[in-house]
Chains A and B, each alone.
Chain A
């Protein structure tokens, strides 16, 4: 290692050690920002993922039929809807079939359903669309039929999921910006302590003709290290808490079939999250250092 590099590393580690408390506060603030960012990211990713799956798997409209509806009305519905633009097929699903499907989904717990005195599920038509873009038109027309008790329409779910995730994104960005500001402020204060502590030495270096790299190097490295430590800590904590909480939720929602498929496991995003966190951590660190240096080192 050259004298210069050795000097820069030694100075940076020394001042981190000297200002332990401030260094810990700075690392903590970076970690906090990143964990919150991480959860917002994961929430948005997961909701978008669910929305995508819903969109893909359910480009169909389920129409629940009134129990007391006439057979002729039903026939008319089948014929007319079957001829609508954008409708590929109309499939009838009786309440008995629906119940047995639910029983299958519940698996071991299906015994609970055996005690039902009467089948609470309605008959239904599943209208398969040629394309999801026809859905609004088809739904509008279906509403005119008297036999229709309700329409279950997954695109709505998808849409509202996306709008939830957009809202989370927007609020998230604001929260993150505020937190970023706080961490940059904290870091610049940590670096300020070092700058003030070493002011005379630094001034001396500048008089002797040390290059900017030599003078600023240790401070920049100090900020960078704070950022890296904060990021690493955040990755570890996020990994543990996210994995634990999704496991817990999977247990909690065990009845919901396929809940597991909707949740993005942490290992899938580990690389991306690591890169994002370290980049942001280092960014905060460097920015904090620069602010301090600009303020307090102008010989």
Chain B
């Protein structure tokens, strides 16, 4: 069934469709609409699960971890400062290997204060051990929630999906709402082999010796690696069931491209239009959309960008003192490629500034002309 809705409501629908029994959250703009919609459904009896209104995001995540360990599906949504406050518990979630799913609405981090789109909040959580997806629009956000459970419940790692503030969270688009039976068929009830057993009480997160700590991390890294393959498989299964698919990355007109643009999130939609226009003018341009960020799809990216001479990464984020974070990851992934492509970093859209088709075309034409390596990121200042 098709409906017209915001990205936030698309996420809420997905949570309802996944029959998540426990949602623990704390409201924060621009995520609040997810929280409100789920609360509304809980009040009217449409939501079968429980909304736990916790006193903070830190507690929300702690609640999700505890509930998840009893063997139930859990969900939370947050944004920006809320995610930052949750930081400590993110490590606990990953360390406890709980399949919690979280939607993060990408919003800039203070200071100064603001509510606008920026990916720094979730990218700052890069090393917490969570699987991370970046979604282009409302439909993809909805579909990624459903996929996220299926991935998380196989690798025993939590999944965070990000959708940008307002551009996705509040823009209304046509969304194809799956039928409940479809989702039920795709996503069977959660059945973890390990969960709290009241007859065999245990002590969670004990002090462990160094060697054992190392072993836990080593095992988690192994699971992270396997997540790439599982994410691809789940993507295929989803496509079979629902007729839509995204892949962990998406190559667009890359085959014969001289210059490849790389984007993540909502800028991709604009880039699709810009590329089409430049192609019409005879410019050999292609686009690579990064959807899975952790684990970083190194092999898939290497294959997709093989033979490209010049690559331009557009980042709606900045690691101060470094550069665009997606660009850093990409450079690291391609460091062993024989062609040694020139990889340019463009910082655009910081703090919610608009990245229009014109901006993207300007970047593409600029890169077409360049032949020298540039280490520093190039800032595209919004007006």
A binds B: no
